[in-house]
Structure 1
């Protein structure tokens, strides 16, 4: 049986995913909270680069998270690569006895993987990536853990799709605003290209000032609408 405390932790993950935060922030916070749900040292979300047929770390928690994000895995390579290739979940409770485990990833990151639970992230039966938790603090990963992680992967898949749609919507919006501004400028040969120049200069100044991504986007829109 799944205990009450674990259910509450899982519900917190659901509340994060269904929050009004920007989609990329939702995904990051979800993965950062995942180790607590599974009493584990770390968790990672790897996304598929379909052109290179590789997995890259979109979010990686734990002490070596930043080092881990420098690593790429071929589909079929390592536990995560095997899960991506076969689109099946996998429990490995002793990595030293499983030939699918990719030791070089630990060597590059400095992280020591003892056991791992890994599931595919699928959207409409298409592989999006892989979700994994590593190093359970007490005992082995169980079928109960697997059921929970699969449920989380389904929610993460929806969050990833929302992030993609959100990005497309923003790009379309900015493109439409710029096009309208340029059409207005074309009526006057003396102001042609003015909006583009103002936008470029504003972004250069904003970056020099160290403004964050959201502030730069608002600055870009303000420059176009000035």
Structure 2
């Protein structure tokens, strides 16, 4: 004799399946974050997992720019793979920009393009999607990005789905913070190594021209600078001339001397302070 399953039992089993799926998703993302130092690879894996578990038609992940005035598309699943790194959205611009500015999520089950916050972007045909969830990515209580999930057909998102996306966004925030700390450690290690090389170079018996050239090369590398130059003052003429530079441009190397007080370099010499 079989016992008919009661609705409450079915509900509990469904809840258990959803919780098991949630744990599995978070475990997979945690593994990706732990095993990958490359942030781009982590973000790519995250949007793939989100699309898989939410059955979404698209998932887009934006991160705040270094200037913190716009969002940059850094990972995408399904649409726009060639536009990663090239799409930018200002804070407060469209739904995505609004979410970043207000630090709160937006859930739209249908007719997303009718929302007053919606803005059409030529390269992002988001108006083709009916349902839309946008969640802020936080790190140390600061917004660092936004993750969007989109469906072409209307969809009433369940509370557990929204909660899962929020948890994933928190994990992304943690991954970004870890990546930043890793980059800081690399920069500090490079600074220590560079300073050590500078000390050895200055103490060596090399020609002054070789020493200066090595200094600009190492300084440019340490600061990720496109151009680094050392200019020396000719006291007889009161002019600054380029003595060493890592620029390969002959036009730059042949730049005319600068008068003290002329341009930023000349002002720094005249005022005897950094600018």
- With the shorter chain as reference, the TM-score category is 0.7 to 0.9
Length-normalised TM-score, structure 1: 0.75
Matched, 1:192 2:207: no
Q: Which residue of structure 1 lines up, in the alignment, with residue 145 of structure 2?
A: 129
Structure-to-structure mapping, 1:74-223, within 5 angstroms: 74-94=90-110, 95-103=112-120, 105=121, 107-110=122-125, 112-135=128-151, 139-187=155-203, 188-190=205-207, 192-193=211-212
Worse-superposed segment, 78-87 or 17-26: 17-26
Deviation, 1:155, is 0.8
Which of structures 1 and 2 has the bigger CA Rg?
2
- 8 Å contact from structure 1 (residues 90, 118) kept in 2: yes
Partner residue of 1:66 out of 67, 78, 82:
82
Task: Compare relative contact order (CA 8 Å, sep 6+) and give the higher one, 1 or 2.
Answer: 1
- 8 Å contact from structure 1 (residues 53, 75) kept in 2: yes
Deviation, 1:138, is 8.4
Q: CA RMSD in A?
A: 2.8
Q: Secondary structure at the match of 2:57?
A: strand
Matched, 1:29 2:45: yes
Change (3 A) 1:36 1:179: same
Task: List gaps (5 residues or longer) in structure 2.
Answer: 1-14, 220-275
| Structure with the larger helix share | 1
Task: Say how many residue pairs are matched.
Answer: 198
Q: Which residue of structure 1 lines up, in the alignment, with residue 61 of structure 2?
A: 45
Q: Secondary structure at the match of 1:192?
A: helix
Worse-superposed segment, 33-42 or 155-164: 33-42
What whole-Å deviation, never above 9, does each CA across 1:129-177 have from its counterpart, x for those lacking one? 1111122778432222110011011111111011111111111111211
